[in-house]
Homo-oligomer: A and B are copies of this chain.
Amino acid sequence: MSKIRRRVDRLARVTDIDRPRRRLPRSVREQEIIDAALRVFAKRGYRAAVVDEIADLAGISKPMVYLYLGSKEGLFIACIRRETQRLVTAFREAAGAGDDPARRLWAGLTAFFGFVAAHRDSWVVLHRQAPEQSEAIAAELAAARRSVRAEVTGLIGDGIARGAGGAVHLGRDDADFVAHALVGAADSLTDWMELHPGEPPEGVTLRLMNMTWVGMRNVLAGEVWAPPR
């Protein structure tokens, strides 16, 4: 009987079916380990995650985990890399190379919310982990987040560039500002989505677009808001 059953699960430890699976080729096993790590890191946070649990969930022993990914840090970084890749890919493929910036942003955001709804763990690992655990992790997380933001900036900047006739307040680094705001909003809306399970990604995007894009369009057209004095 596998070690999983013998261990006292702490709280509601993630478990899996107890199928004896052995002798997998390296590449397959490696992906499975990353799958497991992703879930555990997402559930517990980096520090609270325990390598033992990752091994259990992957259905192998701890030494295998270390043989494949080298260290807890290595596990985490592998997760970040793979999931960033996945998210960016989903984003890009959806945004495509169309002509209408609004359309592309809408498609990209929809893909984003769809991805997060389908792979909550990925997002949680990428954006809900304190980057203070180590130099390497900080660097990796920063890079990952930057690369996600870059996708948005690409779309936004594009839209702004095209539409920016006499825009006043939307200027130089505004695309970056907006990207920060949009990604932050999107992050937070992943929580909102959990509270509204029925809502499809398109709905979330529609709301967010209405909340922001309409305004940005108007602003670009010169209708600037200023605090009343």
CA distance A123 to B41 in the complex (A): 23
How far, in whole Å, are A184 and B205 apart by their CA atoms in the complex? Answer: 15
Instruction: Give complex CA distance A148, B53 in Å.
Output: 34
Neighbouring B residues of A188 by C-beta, 8 Å: 180-181, 183-185, 187
Bitwise interface map of A from 189 to 220 toward B, beta carbon under 8 Å scored 1, else 0: 10110001000001001111111111111110
**A78 sits at the interface (CB 8 A):** no
A223 to B210, CA, bound (A): 9
Known: A192-B177, A210-B224, A215-B210. A132 touches B45 (CB 8 A): yes
Q: Is A13 engaged at the interface, CB distance under 8 Å to the other chain?
A: no
Which A-B residue pairs are the 5 nearest by beta carbons? A184-B188, A215-B215, A47-B47, A214-B215, A45-B130
Q: List 9 A-B contacts (CB under 8 A).
A: A43-B132, A45-B47, A48-B130, A177-B211, A180-B191, A184-B184, A184-B189, A206-B226, A214-B225
